[in-house]
Amino acid sequence: MNARSVTVLVWGENRHEQTEPGVAGVYPDGMHNAVRRGIEHWLGERATVTTATLDDPEHGLTEEVLAGTDVLTWWGHAAHGEVSDEVVDRVHRHVLAGMGLVVLHSGHYSKIFIRLMGTTCTLRWRSANDRELVWTVNPSHPIARGIP
């Protein structure tokens, strides 16, 4: 990899692919691998992309793996409670130390997102005319910069 490469870890529950035939038909290699392929397609040589799932030892989020990760994507939907608190603590430390985190789909109910946000992260449906504000708190982070 060149000096401008980023290491991305795509994490996913990998539950729906195992329990719902329709989902397995669309994502035979798992949603996490579909996300991985998309990142690889768009970033090419500028990124090293790996995957981990809930069923991997330590959910694939060992200290060593996280120490080598620039950006973690988190796909969760129905198995948030199965993520161990020890792993949440570990991911939390790494995010606070500068690792990027992109929370996908229903990840707003994940233990890590709730912990980082300091709220219940409960969604309330509002009118279509509401607007959303997003702040970039570290514009030099590879997620915010894009990777030229």
Residue 79 CB coordination number (10 Å): 15
Look at residue 104 and tell me if it is in a domain: yes
Asked whether the CA dihedral 29, 33, 38, 42 is positive or negative, the reply is negative
Look at residue 139 and tell me if it is in a domain: no
Entry field: residues in the chain: 148
pLDDT level of residue 148 (50, 70, 90 thresholds): low
Rounded-to-integer distance, Cα 62 and Cα 37, Å: 23
Rounded-to-integer distance, Cα 93 and Cα 114, Å: 14
Asked whether the CA dihedral 81, 87, 92, 95 is positive or negative, the reply is negative
Look at residue 111 and tell me if it is in a domain: yes
Put the strands of the sheet holding 47-53 in their side by side order.
47-53, 6-12, 71-76, 100-105
Segments forming the whole domain that contains residue 58? 6-123
Look at residue 59 and tell me if it is in a domain: yes
Q: What is the pLDDT of residue 135?
A: 79
Look at residue 148 and tell me if it is in a domain: no
- The three-class DSSP label of residue 7 is strand
Residue 128 CB coordination number (10 Å): 5
Overall domain count for the chain = 1
Look at residue 1 and tell me if it is in a domain: no
Look at residue 142 and tell me if it is in a domain: no
Look at residue 133 and tell me if it is in a domain: no
| This prediction's pTM | 0.81
Summarised one tens digit per residue, pLDDT across range 20-72 is 899 889 989 999 999 999 999 999 999 999 999 999 999 999 999 999 999 99
Asked whether the CA dihedral 49, 55, 57, 59 is positive or negative, the reply is positive
CATH number at residue 49: 3.40.50.880
Residues 3, 147: contact at Cβ < 8 Å? no
Rounded-to-integer distance, Cα 31 and Cα 77, Å: 12
